[in-house]
Amino acid sequence: MSPLSCLFRKLDLPSRAFEAASKGDFELQGYAFQAVTEQQRRPRIVRMGLVQNRTPLPADTPVVKQVTALHRRIEAIVEVAAMCGVNIICFQEAWTMPFAFCTREKLPWTEFAESAEDGPTTKFCQELARKHDMVVVSPILERDTEHGDILWNTAVVISNSGAVLGKTRKNHIPRVGDFNESTYYMEGNLGHPVFQTQFGRIAVNICYGRHHPLNWLMYSINGAEVIFNPSATIGVLSESLWPIEARNAAIANHCFTCAINRVGEEFFPNEFTSGDGKKAHRDFGYFYGSSYVAAPDGSRTPGLSRNRDGLLVTELDLNLCRQVNDIWGFKMTGRYEMYARELAEAVQPNYSPKIVKE
Ligand SMILES: NC(=O)NCCC(=O)O
């Protein structure tokens, strides 16, 4: 089989996992991508878990109750992921809260922010990681108490040993529609870290970063074999882009990409406007789920449901990254030095675009 003929197949998951998912009222799907068997490297088989979910309680419920309900929900889904042999699990963007940034109000929403190092959600994820021998990627609203008490949109990466391996921050903050996140936090300042885990090298490109090819590229240049894209995005805005962007990034960077989106509608206590002359409203719009995994050869899994909570389990052979790289050679043929030079010139205030005129 040539790596280019790699297609996914259905993964045999234990029936007790399907029973538990059905009892817990969430969808469970499993697929596997294959790679060619090599002579000198053993297959590097790992299982990824992608979780999409709605917020179980209304947004006007007390903050701690909402967070606790989300912890319980995720705990139940992670139990099933463990039954399915998942090695690395990733939750959706800002998973411990409703996506309240549309409101532009500070309280109570900023009360969902926590320390990435030792907040209650990180402690909860450390327990999950230890219990299930699983790497946990936990995207939260971070409050950095050591540095001015400021907020960030952060993903905490917890090793399967239970140790906090590190954190990465959202590099691109949207200024589109009701995504008023710039009211709360700034563009990330940690660059493009890649985390070496027991199950491969991973990176996290948070939501709006998926529209920026250079953001994907930099994680890949730092060696990411799997790039997660935990998101919160709504139908009218981005559903036409969703199937293309993470998939294209997997192709362009010879890596696997995991696109995750929340589901359902969220209503807020106070009306807000969208600055478009339309009436004030209390809802954000429809988060359309559809989480999926794309492989470096361009194949992809089907998406999870548009409207149900779900767990997508995908088995990867990480050897596929190098196999596709050897065929297409984008890393080798990319003219990075030329782009770097030209970009360095283009960002100067006195730059004149190179347009050749008659
Ligand atoms: N959460 C977030 O960055 N959403 C922006 C909209 C999008 O990128 O689809």
Q: What is the pLDDT of residues 30-82, one digit of tens each?
A: 999 999 999 999 999 999 999 999 999 999 999 999 999 999 999 999 999 99
* % of residues, the chain, pLDDT over 90: 97
Query: What Cα–Cα distance (Å) separates residue 174 from each residue in 186, 277, 285, 350?
Result: 10, 20, 16, 27
**Ligand 1: nearest atom to the Cα of 241:** 9
Structural domain for 168, as ranges: 3-346
pLDDT in tens, 275-329: 999 999 999 999 999 999 999 999 999 999 999 999 999 999 999 999 999 999 9
Q: What is the ipTM of this complex?
A: 0.99
User: Ligand 1 atom 9: the closest Cα is on which residue?
Assistant: 233
Please identify which of the residues 6, 84, 90, 93 carries the catalytic annotation. 93
Question: Crossing angle, helix 242-253 and helix 213-221, to 10 degrees?
Answer: 30
- Averaged over 185-206, what is the pLDDT? 98
Domain for residue 356, yes or no? no
The helix (run of H) or strand (run of E) holding residue 67 is helix 63-83
- Which residues, other chains included, contact 96 with Cβ-Cβ below 8 Å and sequence gap of 6+? 66, 67, 70, 71, 112, 114, 121, 140, 141
Q: How far is the CA of 101 from the centre of ligand 1 (A)?
A: 11
Please identify which of the residues 102, 125, 167, 170 carries the catalytic annotation. 170
| Residue ranges around ligand 1 (CB below 6 Å) | 93, 174, 176, 179, 207-208, 231-233, 237-238
Is the confidence at residue 6, as pLDDT, over 90?
A: no
Domain for residue 218, yes or no? yes
Domain for residue 299, yes or no? yes
Residue 188 CA from chain centroid, whole number:
15
CB atoms within 10 A of CB 199: 22
pLDDT of residue 7: 75
Domain for residue 135, yes or no? yes
* % of residues, the chain, pLDDT over 70: 98
- Which residues, other chains included, contact 249 with Cβ-Cβ below 8 Å and sequence gap of 6+? 205, 210, 213, 216, 227, 255, 257, 294
Contact 203, 194 (CB under 8 A): yes
In the residue annotation, 258 being an active-site residue is answered as no
Q: Considering its fold, how many domains does the chain have in total?
A: 1
pLDDT in tens, 83-134: 999 999 999 999 999 999 999 999 999 999 999 999 999 999 999 999 999 9
Can you give the C-alpha Rg of the chain in angstroms?
A: 20
Return d(Cα 137, Cα 177) in angstroms, integer. Answer: 27
Residue 207 CA from chain centroid, whole number:
7
Tell me the pairing of strands 195-197 and 256-261. unpaired
pLDDT in tens, 157-189: 999 999 999 999 999 999 999 999 999 999 999
- CA dihedral (230, 190, 137, 250) positive or negative: positive
In the residue annotation, 38 being an active-site residue is answered as no
Q: How far is the CA of 263 from the centre of ligand 1 (A)?
A: 14
Write the CATH number for 43.
3.60.110.10
Domain for residue 351, yes or no? no
Domain for residue 288, yes or no? yes
pLDDT of residue 1: 45
Q: How far is the CA of 28 from the centre of ligand 1 (A)?
A: 25
User: Ligand 1 atom 3: the closest Cα is on which residue?
Assistant: 208
Domain for residue 295, yes or no? yes
The helix (run of H) or strand (run of E) holding residue 284 is strand 281-288
In the residue annotation, 93 being an active-site residue is answered as yes
Domain for residue 147, yes or no? yes
Partners of 293 in beta bridges: 258
Partners of 272 in beta bridges: 281
